Chain A
Amino acid sequence: MSAPASPSGARRRALLFWAFFAIGTVVLALAPLALNNYWLRVLTTVFMYATVTQGLNVIVGLTGYHAFGNAVFFGFGAYASGVAMTLGAPFPVALVAAVAFSALVAGIVGWPILRLRGHYFAIATVALNLAAIQLVIQVGGVTGGAEGLPLPLSDLPPGPLYRAIYLVMLAGMVVSTLLVAFILTRPFGYALRAIRDGERAAGVMGIDTTATKVAAWAISAGITGFAGGVWAYWITFIEPASAFDPAIGVKAYMMLILGGMGTVIGPVLGAFVLEFLSTLVWGGFLQAHQIVFGVLIVVICLVAPNGMLVAGRSLIQRWRSRHGAA
């Protein structure tokens, strides 16, 4: 535990951070001018996962409620935008529907199950994920049921379309990250962190814990639903098994742990590192990429159990104390 940092030093660091963040955003926004289709797709995937992970960060990292099935909102977002577009809505309206519908589901389901503390909620989200697959299949009709749902094709030719989707995914990542940073400065953010560190104490200190948790989960769901909504338009054909794939949630969890729970930029870092690693491993070990990737994950968890940010910070501290600089 280090001595408390001086306020001016903290401000300088924050300024530096946001300068990097702005430069990174601009560079990434201009990148499609130079990128080939392969790297465009890899980066779009990175942004998508970064957004999903940031959504997970709100409920898991900030609020301390594990939600193993949180990717269910990816599927709800995908289906909400898919159905909206099938019914004739333009893409932006479909995205609004994806966010709103996901947040609504979280609000309605969250009200009863977020009264549960700890592990029960985590398990309930998994059940919700499984139930959602059945629900889509049973409902049929506009959702396409088990046969899947083809989305209306865009008028844009593939090149500009993929660049547009790249930019929308990038916007999802940037805006969700800004949102998390903003939340952390507000009383709402303090309420979430208080619930994470001691829910009973938070309650007797005046925080309406149930309402706060439900709001957090709805925000988490909205962010996740956004990613799902864009994804549906990107791949143009969705089916229950791929839209509600639990592997999406598992991957987001790994990215969150890798990057650092409850941090602003951790989910983005985690998504970049893990997705690039998995792409590189895939290219380098065509036969055994799953095994190599799995071993890498285990190593990362051993070396940096609290995420790269914390590991990096303690490395810097160790280096500084060894070299005598304050």
Chain B
Amino acid sequence: MALLEANDLEIRFGGVKALAGVSFRVEEGEVFGVIGPNGAGKTTLLNAISAVYKLNGGSIRFAGEDVTGLPPHRLSRLGIARTFQIVQPFKAMSVRENVAIGAMFGHARLRTRDAWLAAADAALERTGLAPKAAFMPPQLTLADRKRLEVARALAMGPRIILFDEVMAGLNHTEIERMIDLVKSLKQAGLTVVVIEHVMKAVLALCDRIMVLNFGAKLAEGVPDDVVSDPKVVEAYLGQRFAKAHAAAGGAR
């Protein structure tokens, strides 16, 4: 059974269809990638799933239950966590408090202060932020602020995490570290959806990929099939990537 199942999602902004009937399934324990050119509707898709935007059509099932139309805080307690592409730390709270908020409100079971702080510390440890627990968010580098987003999501004890471009703006070393972090989450049994432009990360992480273009699904499948699909090369990747990827031996 799919953990997350989206059927015919539709979001309109005025006359523009940002999502024009997108359907997909994410299986338990897999890393599912969403790629596509700017404006294709990737972040809109994430906002639709996490109920930041209201759906104009379609339905969402999570763990077998219909969750269409539930407000964001209800989804979070069911086990859906997300990060924001433009990081949104609570700037007047320490890093540890930021993460503890996730455990305090987004976790379905934790009830005591000690449990919240323990969950926060575990998430900080996992993301490598523990040494900076007492920092204020404005003191962090961008890479650390992206990690803070991940830590906050982890503290909620989610079943699925939706990552909105956690690699964007990071340098090579930082990208490698973030890839390792996401891999470790998959190994721990979490289901992950990544929206990403950094193809290196997409190829290293994803079990399956969906390509969006103009608010509709252009292709879906295992990474090697998708990146050699002429439609995808045409719309997003470009010939240079296709040639380089083929030269590198396709399957890495």
Contact = CB atoms under 8 A, between A and B. Distances in A.
Contacts of A202: 90, 101, 105
Interface stretch (B5-13, B80-88, B210-218): B80-88
A205 B88 CA distance: 11
Nearest to A5: B134
A198 interface: yes
Contacts of A262: 92
A54 to B, nearest CB: 19
Given A1-B139, A193-B93, A203 B72 contact: yes
Contact of A4 (B73, B106, B135): B135
A205 B139 contact: no
A1 B136 contact: yes
B177 interface: no
Contacts of B91: 197
A201 B93 contact: no
A262 to B, nearest CB: 8
A217 to B, nearest CB: 18
B138 A197 contact: no
A201 B88 CA distance: 6
Given A206-B73, A208-B73, A197 B136 contact: no
A44 interface: no
A200 B50 CA distance: 10
A191 B93 CA distance: 11
A205 B102 contact: yes
A187 interface: yes
A147 B134 CA distance: 59
A207 B138 contact: no
Contact of B89 (A190, A198, A200): A198
Interface string B163-178: 0000000000000000
Interface string B93-116: 110010011101111000000000
Contacts of B77: 206
A190 B81 contact: no
Contact of B94 (A4, A196, A204): A4
Contacts of B138: 1
Interface string B190-226: 0000000000000000000000000000000000000
B88 A206 contact: no
Interface string B129-168: 0000011101100000000000010001000000000000
B90 A197 contact: yes
A194 interface: yes
A4 B101 CA distance: 19
Contact of A197 (B52, B82, B92, B106): B92
A220 interface: no
A209 interface: yes
Contacts of B93: 190, 193-194, 197
Contacts of B43: none
Contacts, number: 80
A197 B93 CA distance: 9
Interface residues of A, number: 21
A206 B90 contact: no
B152 A205 contact: yes
Contacts of A205: 73, 76, 81, 101-102, 105-106, 152, 156
A274 B89 CA distance: 34
B151 to A, nearest CB: 11
A264 B80 CA distance: 35
A4 B93 CA distance: 11
Contact of A208 (B71, B90, B100, B135): B71
Contacts of A208: 71, 73
Contacts of A196: 92
Contacts of A203: 52, 71-73
B102 to A, nearest CB: 5
Contacts of A1: 136, 138-139
Nearest to B108: A206
B50 A191 contact: no
Please indicate which of the listed interface residues B75, B97, B105, B138 has the most CB atoms of chain A within 10 Å of its own CB. Answer: B105
Nearest to B113: A187
A262 B91 CA distance: 13
Nearest to B75: A204
Nearest to A185: B113
Interface of A: 1, 4, 187, 190-191, 193-194, 196-198, 200-209, 262
Which 9 residue pairs spanning A and B have beta carbons closest together?
A: A206-B106, A206-B105, A4-B134, A197-B90, A203-B72, A201-B88, A206-B76, A198-B88, A205-B106
Interface of B: 50, 52, 71-73, 75-77, 81-82, 84, 88-94, 97, 100-102, 104-107, 134-136, 138-139, 152, 156
12 contacts: A187-B105, A190-B101, A193-B90, A193-B93, A196-B92, A197-B90, A200-B84, A200-B88, A201-B89, A203-B71, A206-B107, A208-B73
